[in-house]
Every structure is written in C-alpha cells, then in structure tokens.
A and B are shown apart, each in its own frame.
Chain A
C-alpha cells in the first residue's frame, strides 16, 4: 500500500466566490471615483445663459461642457451602482434614474437641448485611476 504523503484539495468554489466579492468591491471603488469627478465637474460655474430667479442668479452650462448645478438637486443624485454579471463579469454604473441625466448627457430628442456631457468626461478624466482600482488583487 502506497504512502499518502500529500493530498489535493480543490478550493475552486471558495476562490471564485472571493474573486467575485473582491471584483465587486473594486468596481464599487472605481465607480465612486467617477461619481466624485462627475460631482466636481458639475460644481463648476457655467459659461452659458444667465438666469434670474428672485434673488438667485444662475449661469447655466454652455453646450458641450458639464452641466452647471443650480440648486444642487441633480448633482446630489449622481450615484453609483454595481452588480454581478454572468460568470465573473461585474457591472458598474454611474448616474441615476432621473431623466434629466439622459437629457443633459446626450441631448433631447427634439434637439432643443444640446448635450452637456458630464458622466462620460468624468470617466475619461479618471480613466487611469479607474483602471488601477479595477486591476487590484482579486484574491
């Protein structure tokens, strides 16, 4: 009878679970970087039309530049969301459910509101940091 000096144990399942958890955590941090940048971009003063509302003067953003927050309501709604995709894929989202995000980001169907990209430039500006976060150790 042969000596049993070593034994193989398959930890595939537990490693896979750990990888999925870490990938979600990495994605959460990565999307948070983009959210912070989007909030910073929308906090900048606009260069477009000037509106007067009682004592408040608001300068809107000009087309092509990030939306300029007025009351801060839309800016505060920029959030991130992560979810587990099929297999090892992890999905990350930034923005929110408010329709105004879409109208401002891509413009309206009738062409009356030109795009004021905020979320896409936020990702582009922080691409290196986002990639670094996503590439962090999974195990």
Chain B
C-alpha cells in the first residue's frame, strides 16, 4: 500500500471525518490526487509534495511530505473538517502493512487560500503539509 493510500484509508476509516464529507460511489470522498468528475464538496484530496529516501544500517527510511487539501462550500466547513483531519493524522503512528509504519507530523498549515473572501466565495480550499516518516523494518 502506498503512503497516500495509507493516509486515505486512515481518513476514510474515521467516523469523525466521514460524517463531515460527502460520499462518492458509496465510499467517503477522500481522494489520492485530484477529485474525480462528479465529486461533490466537501471532499478531501491528498497530493504528493516530495519524497527523500535514506538508508540506515538497520532500516530504510523515507522522508515524505504530502499535502492534504479540503475543498468545501463554506469557510467554516473547511475549518471543521480540517480540525478532524488533524486529530486523525498529526502526531500519530499508522501501520501501513506488516513491515512498514508511518509517523505523521503536520509541518505547515493549515492555511486557507489567500484570495478567499469569506462571505462571497463558494470555493474554500484549506490545506496543510504532513511530513510522513516511513520506516521499513
């Protein structure tokens, strides 16, 4: 399972997050990459930012950054969803499969797009970067 898929599974498996977002094809609207056509807001997208692999004597580490974005119809929805996302991801360790674990830390944000005018805009994009340290034993 890829790192993004691991994050997707963690978010889609949390009732606090899924109660705030829509469903797409009967699955929670948490996507890896751009949202598919027909997805209805609010939804979550996970994007690749960077990946730096490194090896040590005992294990293989990968220092990865993923951008988690919330697209919503209102500023407050976006903010509320992000609070839930942060509860699931920030400071948590997730087992990806038998020999890999992910240590997740929020390293930037969450921030909203700067051109947003709260009362006028209908597209609200709030995003943050999560550093994921993967350790393969």
Contact = CB atoms under 8 A, between A and B. Distances in A.
Nearest to A110: B123
Contacts, number: 68
Interface in B53-91: 63, 65, 67, 69, 71
Contacts of B129: 120
Given A63-B33, A102-B113, A102-B114, A107 B125 contact: yes
A67 B52 CA distance: 19
Size class of the B contact interface (CB-based, 8 Å) = 20 to 34
Interface in B105-128: 113-116, 121, 123-125, 127
Contacts of B115: 99, 109
Contact of B71 (A64, A111, A117, A121): A111
B97 interface: no
A81 interface: no
Nearest to A62: B33
A125 B54 CA distance: 12
B98 to A, nearest CB: 27
- Name the residue in A63, A106, A108, A120 with the highest tally of chain B Cβ atoms < 10 Å from its Cβ: A106
B121 A127 contact: no
